[in-house]
Structure 1
């Protein structure tokens, strides 16, 4: 028994009912709707031996970067694989990708899906999962080209073309093609106003260009489309919080934090906790102490008792411990990862990600909180241009870059601070943060006129942002 999906791809072991649930699950995945899990489960009940239903279920167990979910998915998949169900070549590639990722080799999974879409460019599931893998591994070029290489095979009138265009927009943004990214993202949003990934791509584009006021207006104009009922609403609120921090509106950023990012109703999932850590850490770098918020957030991270599963999460857990003054807990994370790295873990991507970036960043953060700013600088400078290899976006990783800037200023490493700030101002001359940091450096060097000019630039750009709020 088999059927075909709307794009003519075989679904072995699925009858019409299972295929309907599979299609609904795919739609929900592309638009980050929470019913995706229920639809995959319904497909499995209707077709318990269907390869694509099991591949889809395995992917869902991995997308949240939750080690417990991955372990459950691994056990469930092993029971299915022992049965030796029939699958065609495309479905077998999906199963191989799922197996590789379940075994810890996310890079291998991405490679398999890359080759799959060369032969089957209209496999939306392969494109969507591969796109997320590229995000988790910080591979901007693949983030751009994986989907871009398939788009010409799609009819723009296809309902799935819009979300693919939104994915393409995010890849274009991460590789610096901002004008094209904005065009693609806005076209995707026009096609599907509730495409929260496309909205997210446009927001990233404005963030990277320092077009903060436009970003605020963009989000405000469609707040009902992105602010709830989807898996990305917390992250998009985080982006709104970044705009607020740039404007010096810390009260507004904290209001967002309390209402959405972390509160008594939060579920404690890693993807949301890391956004909470990343927002508070930026405020912490600016001298804003939020001990009660940090304490609650650190408790949430501690309750997870995470092992070495995804280095990007480790860094944000360490931020929370440090912000809460729990330096011993932060140091415990680094020691645990050191012990884990002492043994080989062949084929486990997180081993390399932890060794090369995750653990050094954790050490640098601990050194920063202990006032060992020169150590922070010495650890981060050699890896600052390859932070991407442990995942996330440019916007997310900027918390680490800002830590380096702050450490250089506090360590009186004037030449390095000048270089870092010159880079940042050249990239985003409309960022108040960049100009305020430059003013601090000028003041330390006794250049009062230069400092005053920098502060004038900061005030000018801050005003442009706050005008968007009508303040």
Structure 2
């Protein structure tokens, strides 16, 4: 009976298909583009292999693309009708159940099943990698940390997959607030595999969350050949670079990253890349920085996708683009469609709660912000600000929404709330020019000129220290 490199049974899988499985798994762990071709080759070599079809189903879901998920659902359903579960190993049965659950829309249940796989088979790298992404998509920082941490002791340090697992663990540690430990583990991962872009990404997050954007600039600049091309994460890591540049006050560099990497004529209108573009332009909008035709082009890319209800996190970023471009009727239409979808969809679908509890209120807040209805923005966002994680993304990604609340509180005259929000932010992240600039604007409105000047000077001092990374 054929097994993978960690002695897990691969039922109905021949030697050639097993080789494709290992190559596909390696590509998945390092975010390389050949993962899709290798997964398809595995199915072609062994059409009756359950793990080949499971792998393909996961790939159809990991991109958070509605159309790809629908295609994966149809393909897997066809295979499932002819599958005899009795001939599968316990691990394969659990993977099959996890794939089915996610294809049916129950992402949370899929994550739970994969957690069971990892408990019984802790060296199943596929279960760990897919489960890790589910934890990310659902914003579960504790599971993002502990799913990987709970399996690491079963791995040998010299295992080829141990490095990328460290990269995953580093990201989980960072999202759970263990920034120093996350940086240490992430650097270990990248030392093992310099092109471990998820490990690089984890290190970058630790700098973002501590306000060490000068260190982040230097780190990404030094490793540019390792992350900037040939992988699925190059755009997202470039987005992080742009965030550093924004904190350093270099709008020219921010727009250069946007135009060269985040969104241009060669962009493929992939949801995960478009949302990075939206999130960056929205931060510029919050700062009242004009971006000329970029909003219109980005909104057109989102509109061309014609997405249905699939993942609320994507919907929010589509609405950012529509609102930024002044296409408020399109933004309203998307929200209305999602409200109608809620009436006919099952609460068992994970996106149902994400959309109802977080997605729609945030979308409506973004529209209200563009209409300068700042009090309405506060009414919508303040009640959910501690629950934003439940519709996915990272702390860094969700900060665009948190900043929207800060700006709305200042501009609506909700000075007590604005002071509270900024006190929270400054005490959590004292090195952050945005926080001090916002504090200065609040003090201006409160008539405290000396305090405003001190906050503004603090912001400029921090920005200059970060900009020094460019020499």
Q: Which band: TM-score by shorter chain?
A: over 0.9
Q: Give the distance between the partners of 1:433 and 1:248, measured in 2 at CA.
A: 10
Counterpart in the other structure of 1:237? 238
Classify the secondary structure of the residue corresponding to 2:134: helix
The aligned counterpart of 2:12 is 13
Q: Which runs of 4+ in 1 moved over 4 A?
A: none
How far 1:346 sits from its partner (Å)? 3.6
User: 2:37 aligned with 1:3, yes or no?
Assistant: no
The answer on whether the counterparts of 1:387 and 1:397 sit within 8 Å (CA) in structure 2 is yes
Cα drift, residue 343 of structure 1: 2.5
Tell whether the 8 Å contact from 1:165 to 1:184 is kept in structure 2 after alignment.
Answer: yes
Question: Residue 293 of structure 2: SS of its match in structure 1?
Answer: helix
Residue aligning to 2:207: 206
C-alpha contact 2:105 2:350 (8 A) present in aligned 1: yes
Distance 1:390 1:459 in 2: 34
Structure 1 unmatched runs, 5+: none
Partner of residue 387, structure 2:
386
User: TM-score normalized by structure 1?
Assistant: 0.99
2:44 matched to which residue of 1? Answer: 45
Aligned pairs for 1:15-414 within 5 A: 15-85=14-84, 86-414=87-415
Secondary structure at the counterpart of residue 181 of structure 1: helix
Shift of 1:456: 1.1
Distance 2:116 2:406 in 1: 40
C-alpha separation in 2, matches of 1:280 and 1:251: 13
Q: How many residues are treated as equivalent by the alignment?
A: 469
Q: Any idea what SS the aligned residue of 1:342 has?
A: helix
DSSP-derived class of the 1:11 partner:
coil
Task: Deviation per CA, 1:330-351: give whole Å up to 9, x if none.
Answer: 1111111111112341421101
Q: Distance in 1 between matches of 2:47 and 2:14?
A: 11
Determine the C-alpha separation between the residues in 2 that align with 1:229 and 1:456: 41
Return the alpha-carbon distance in structure 2 between the equivalents of residues 291 and 285 of structure 1: 15
Q: In 2, distance between residues paired with 1:214 and 1:346?
A: 44
Q: Does structure 2 retain, via aligned residues, the 8 Å contact 1:297–1:320?
A: yes
1:87-123 deviations in Å (ceiling 9; x for gaps): 1110010010000000000000000000111000000
Question: Once the two structures are superposed, what CA deviation does each residue of 1:34-54 show, in whole Å capped at 9, x if it has no partner?
Answer: 000000011111100101000
1:162-204 deviations in whole A, cap 9, x for unaligned? 0000000000000000111011000000000000000000000
| Alpha-carbon contact 1:291-1:324 (below 8 Å) kept | no
1:436 maps to 2:437: yes
1:274 touches 1:317 (CA, 8 Å); kept in 2? yes
Contact 1:291 1:323 in 2 (8 A): no
Is the Cα–Cα contact under 8 Å of residues 134 and 140 in structure 1 kept in the other structure? yes
The CA distance in 1 between the partners of 2:428 and 2:146, in whole Å, is 23
Question: Does residue 427 in structure 1 map to residue 428 in structure 2?
Answer: yes
Question: Matched residues in 1 for 2:223 and 2:291: separation?
Answer: 31
Q: Is the 8 A contact 2:148 2:165 kept in 1?
A: yes
Would you say the 8 A contact 2:63–2:272 is kept in 1?
yes
**Paired residues of 2:410 and 2:418 also in contact (CA < 8 A):** yes
Unmatched runs of 5 consecutive residues or more in structure 2: none
* Counterpart secondary structure, 1:4: coil
TM-score, normalization by structure 2? 0.99
Secondary structure of the residue that 1:150 maps to in structure 2?
helix
* Whole-angstrom CA distance in 1 between matches of 2:237 and 2:431: 21
Q: What SS does structure 2 have at the residue aligned with 1:53?
A: helix
CA contact (8 A) 2:365 2:380 kept: yes
8 Å CA contact 1:29–1:36 kept in 2: the answer is: yes
Alpha-carbon distance in structure 1 between the residues aligned to 2:188 and 2:456 = 37
**Secondary structure, in 3 states, of the residue corresponding to 2:344?**
coil
User: How far does the alpha carbon of each residue in 1:338-392 deviate from its partner, in whole angstroms, 9 at most, with x for none?
Assistant: 1111234142110110000000000111111111100100110000001000000
Offset from partner CA, 1:276-322 (integer Å, 9 cap, x none): 00000000100012241000000000001111110000000000001
C-alpha separation between the residues in 1 aligned to 2:416 and 2:22? 56
Deviations 1:200-220 (A, max 9, x none): 000000000001000111101
Alignment partners' CA distance in 1, 2:130 and 2:343: 31
Please state how far the C-alpha of 1:329 moved relative to its aligned partner. 0.7
Query: What is the SS of the residue equivalent to 1:159?
Result: coil
- Between the aligned partners of 1:338 and 1:39, the Cα distance in structure 2 is 39
Secondary structure at the aligned position of 1:288 is classed as coil
Q: Could you give the per-residue CA deviations for residues 403-435 of structure 1, whole angstroms, max 9, x where no partner exists?
A: 000000100110000000111111111111100
